[in-house]
Amino acid sequence: MQLDKLGCRVRDIVSGGSLAVVTDEHVEKLYLQRCRDTLEEAGFAVHSFVIPPGEGSKDGQTYLELVNFLAEIPLTRADAVVALGGGVVGDLAGFAAATYLRGIKVIQVPTTLLAAVDSSIGGKTAINLKAGKNLAGAFHQPALICCDAELLRTLPEDVFLDGMAEVIKYGVIADAQLFQQLTDPQETRVRLAEVIERCASIKMRFVEEDEHDTGIRQMLNFGHTIGHAIEKASGYQISHGKAVAKGMARIAEIAARCGWCSRNTEKEIRAVLETYGFDLDISYSNETLYEIMKTDKKRKGRFIDIVVPEEIGRCRLQRLTTEELGEIL
């Protein structure tokens, strides 16, 4: 859906007269005016809240400033928050909307590839605490997602690549045809809108079946258990997408070694990641990764469920004890 159509769609679902658009300084310069224009044309009073770009803004202080801003406008329960940006803006604005007045509507307008295929869908919202990422949050489904692939044209290559790791993940876990299409990066660029739509529909399907992440939704964590450990070991210097790419390659190697998938499947996963230029080397010891993985927030007592590929387009959960996890690493 084009950004310029946003106003009409929001009018259909928001009965109040005021909207708060949350964005970051990069996106502000590129798209805030267009976003304001379409919303104002639809008759809304638009208030904007602009945060510095980057993960640092997904913190308690910015969250409190934002909810205070909403209260000063003031937004009522009939109004809504619009998250115009990447995953940082989406998570922060979503969490503010989930908690302000015990919950008002949020409209997600993703502007990064990661937000378009992942963070804007599924209703997970959060801020980071000193003890770790995403530790305070809420499930709060967006009232509307406006995904305009044209907005992604201005993305820096590095940020685009972070989203590509998630796109490749969808191919591996659920869509062999998409995976084949991804082997040609030029084609991916040309057909980006279609690629996003396929990924979004896979995520929606998993979320609809398991909104609160206790079953099939965990399949979306392919590459993430090891990826999160790599991210953390690097002190978050390695971005989420680059860490997940390393995690996917590593778990594919483990799966092939344990006989859970063929060597050919492992090779295909590695090859597509390399085609996009992901560096798949891991410079941390298995002991370091293991110590971090043992504290993974998705651990269930002494068990941890790892997503393993069976073939391209199909994955399953493999339950391991933490000791077994140490051994296979």
Ligand X SMILES: NC(=O)c1ccc[n+]([C@@H]2O[C@H](COP(=O)([O-])OP(=O)(O)OC[C@H]3O[C@@H](n4cnc5c(N)ncnc54)[C@H](O)[C@@H]3O)[C@@H](O)[C@H]2O)c1
State the pairing for strand pair 124-129/132-139. Answer: antiparallel
User: Are 91 and 119 in contact, with CB atoms under 8 Å apart?
Assistant: yes
Computed over its alpha carbons, how large is the radius of gyration of the chain?
Answer: 20
Task: Rank residues 7 and 85 by Cβ distance to ligand X and give the closer one.
Answer: 85
| Shortest distance, position 124 Cβ to ligand X, whole Å | 4
Task: Rank residues 47 and 240 by Cβ distance to ligand X and give the closer one.
Answer: 240
Q: Which of 18, 37, 59, 134 binds ligand X (CB under 6 A)?
A: 134
Q: Is 27 in the site for ligand X (CB under 6 A)?
A: yes
Q: Which of 20, 51, 106, 155 binds ligand X (CB under 6 A)?
A: 155
Q: Is 232 in the site for ligand X (CB under 6 A)?
A: no
Number of residues that bind ligand X (CB under 6 A): 31
Residue 54's Cβ-side half-sphere holds a number of Cα atoms within 13 Å equal to 4
State the pairing for strand pair 144-145/105-110. Answer: parallel
Q: Which two tokens stand for residue 9?
A: 């769609």
Phi and psi at residue 144, in whole multiples of 5°? -160, 140
Task: Rank residues 105 and 124 by Cβ distance to ligand X and give the closer one.
Answer: 124
Q: Which of 114, 164, 195, 249 binds ligand X (CB under 6 A)?
A: 114
Cβ atoms within 10 Å of 132's Cβ, excluding its own: 11
Q: Is 124 in the site for ligand X (CB under 6 A)?
A: yes
| Shortest distance, position 26 Cβ to ligand X, whole Å | 3
Give the C-alpha separation, 228 to 270, whole Å: 19
Q: Which two tokens stand for residue 253?
A: 């190697």
Q: Is 227 in the site for ligand X (CB under 6 A)?
A: no
Binding site for ligand X (CB under 6 A): 24, 26-27, 30, 53-55, 58, 85-89, 91, 111-112, 114-115, 118-119, 122, 124, 133-134, 151-152, 154-155, 159, 162, 240
